[in-house]
Amino acid sequence: MNILDGKLVSAKIKEDIKADAAAFTAQAGRKPHLVAILVGNDGGSETYVASKMRNCELVGFDSTNIRYDVDITEAELIAKIEEINADDTIDGLIVQLPLPKHIDPDKITEAIDYRKDVDGFHPINLGRMQRNLPCFIPATPYGIMLMLDYYKIETAGKHAVVVGRSNIVGSPMSILLARNANPGNCTVTLTHSRTKDLKAEVLRADIIVAAIGKKNFVTADMVKEGAVVIDVGINREDSTETKSGFKLYGDVDFEHVAPKSSWITPVPGGVGLMTIVGLLKNTLEAAKGNIYQK
């Protein structure tokens, strides 16, 4: 068993991003700039946004966190997004999900200018990804692809089974793994809560991507000997053992699955750190105008 070490890979890629950001800043006379909008005070979302902002600073980007109370209206939020769309000093805009029930996440996603959509959730970016055209790729699947690339994990011709079909992780992951690209060229099975005999499906996998949101959901009896296991899950549980007051668990029963796997991501220290890298890379590309001309 080998560890796919998100700490190591993210640190290396962030060094490259930092050098690129410095070159951009010297040339453009300003830093790449990411704005994150956070509505309400969901504990998980606050942690994620704080980490994104901190990482922006670390690599030499400007970052702005705009916070709204939970009762902001959809129209007010869209007005702010439109203001940011028109601001040439802002390269990337993300609106942290989930949003309160009275705000339609699809409307918000589509209100963001696709050229600033560094989360890669806008239908234009998703459509371009499907067609293998330059685009912003959703940060988590992008981070996973960077990890597979870093470790030169053989993917061509492999059978990948993705568990979970969300718009932000499972579905884009299945598209990326199936694309005619490297990494990619997998035969992909996309599974979800209506899949019959999930265990039989997962057992056939050379590569498993678990994005379900249930602690220790993928157990050792579901995993083929030698499989590559990517654990996307972040499940928080209260704990008296940690300073933060909670502990993180993946969707994979790491203790029992790891000995059977050829490669596996830990939680924490795996995909979560790579997600940040995906976001930073998208923001840098947005600033440089490499994907969509400014």
Residues of this chain that bind ligand NDP (CB under 6 A): 140, 163-166, 168-170, 191-195, 198, 211-213, 232-235, 271-272, 275
Residue nearest to ligand NDP (CB): 166
The answer to whether the annotation marks 164 as part of a ligand binding site is yes
Token digits of residue 111: 């209100």
Is 293 buried (19+), middle (13-18) or exposed (0-12) by CB count in 10 A? exposed
Q: Establish whether 52 is a catalytic residue.
A: yes
Which residue number, 60 or 213, has a Cβ lying nearer to ligand NDP?
213
Token digits of residue 150: 């870093």
Which residue number, 72 or 190, has a Cβ lying nearer to ligand NDP?
190
Residue tagged active-site, from 96, 116, 117, 158: 96
Q: Establish whether 231 is a catalytic residue.
A: no
Which residue number, 37 or 198, has a Cβ lying nearer to ligand NDP?
198
**What is the closest distance, in whole angstroms, from the C-beta atom of residue 251 to ligand NDP in the complex?**
6
Look up residue 132 and give its amino acid: N
Q: If you search the block for the tokens 């918000």, which residue do you land on?
A: 108
**What is the closest distance, in whole angstroms, from the C-beta atom of residue 235 to ligand NDP in the complex?**
5
Q: Establish whether 87 is a catalytic residue.
A: no
The Cα–Cα gap between 101 and 97 comes to 11
- Give per-residue burial for 200-219: e unless 16+ CB within 10 Å, then b: ebbeebbbbbbbbeebbbbe
The answer to whether the annotation marks 131 as part of a ligand binding site is no
Which residue number, 140 or 283, has a Cβ lying nearer to ligand NDP?
140
**What is the closest distance, in whole angstroms, from the C-beta atom of residue 194 to ligand NDP in the complex?**
5
**What is the closest distance, in whole angstroms, from the C-beta atom of residue 85 to ligand NDP in the complex?**
25
The Cα–Cα gap between 63 and 90 comes to 9
The Cα–Cα gap between 244 and 237 comes to 11
Residue tagged active-site, from 52, 80, 116, 281: 52
The Cα–Cα gap between 65 and 53 comes to 7
Which residue number, 3 or 25, has a Cβ lying nearer to ligand NDP?
3
**What is the closest distance, in whole angstroms, from the C-beta atom of residue 255 to ligand NDP in the complex?**
18
Is 5 buried (19+), middle (13-18) or exposed (0-12) by CB count in 10 A? middle
Q: Catalytic amino acids?
A: 52, 96, 119
Binding residues for NADP(+): 164-166, 234
